[in-house]
Amino acid sequence: MSEQASLVAIVHGRVQGVFFRAFVKDHAKALGLTGYVKNKSGGRSVEVRAEGEKEKLEELLDYLRAGPSRSKVDRVDVEWSVFKGRFQGFSVNY
Residue 58, domain CATH = 3.30.70.100
Question: What is the rounded CA–CA span in Å between residue 37 and residue 26?
Answer: 11
Query: Which residue among 14, 21, 49, 93 is the active-site one?
Result: 21
In a domain, 27, yes or no: yes
For the chain, the domain total comes to: 1
For the chain, where are the alpha helices, taking DSSP H only? 20-30, 54-66
Mean pLDDT by 10 residues, the chain (94 residues): 93 97 98 98 96 98 98 98 96 95
pLDDT at 2: 84
CA 19-20-23 angle, 5° bins: 90
Structural domain including 58 reads 4-84
Question: What is the rounded CA–CA span in Å between residue 31 and residue 51?
Answer: 11
Active site residue 21: yes
Query: Which residue among 39, 49, 75, 93 is the active-site one?
Result: 39
pTM to 2 decimals? Answer: 0.95
Cβ count near 27 (within 10 Å): 20
Taking each helix axis from N to C end, the angle separating 54-66 and 20-30, rounded to the nearest 10 degrees, works out to: 150
